Amino acid sequence: MQTEKVALPDEVYIALVNLREVLKKENIIASDRRYKQALSLIKANAYLGGRAKATPDDLAILQHVLWGQPSEYKMVQKLVLTTVNPVLSKIQELLDVAKEVYHQAMDPNAQKDKEAGNKIGFEATVKLRRVQEDLGKLAATPDTAKVLDDARAKVKAYSDEIYNVITGIRK
């Protein structure tokens, strides 16, 4: 397997130990076996990113596997991203806000009354513009540039769809 050739430097192991301690403080305990399997995921993430050596940022993939109960997912996601890369954490936080604003504006109940729907839609576009501005203030690194670009595109798509609905261009 190609991923076996990916190097795991000491900084990755140190970041993984730190992450494990952070999760443990929140009573989120993953087994030793899961952490051992996590090393393969970290290598795969680096390999798919075109790198022969993993970095601590590659631990971000672990947000998807270190939770035990579905109710822990958001907490694990936040803790992993905050510990591994605060920029990724902020991006995810802003995406969560944008998604919530989008769903509130596109709620069929909100759209029943045209005037109220337009007001909610207008307020949503203003909030999404703020989210776009906040995303624009984040400094991208080579490891976060694609995630940041994807987040900006997603928020723009949300905003465009809401705008189209409130202007009657598309329903």
Q: Could you check whether 2-84 and 86-167 share the same CATH topology?
A: no
Sign of the alpha-carbon torsion through 40, 147, 94, 17 = positive
CA distance from start to end of the chain: 49
140 burial class (0-12, 13-18, 19+ CB within 10 angstroms)? middle
Q: Is domain 2-84 in CATH 3.30.470.10, yes or no?
A: no
Tens digits of per-residue pLDDT, 116-167?
Answer: 778 888 899 999 999 999 999 998 777 788 889 999 999 999 999 998 888 8
Q: Domain coordinates of the chain in residue numbers?
A: 2-84, 86-167
d(CA 13, CA 116): 53
Fold of 86-167: Methane Monooxygenase Hydroxylase; Chain G, domain 1 (1.20.58)
Q: What is the pTM of this model?
A: 0.73
C-alpha torsion angle, residues 127, 105, 148, 67 (rounded to 10):
120
C-beta of residue 120 within 8 angstroms of C-beta of residue 105: yes
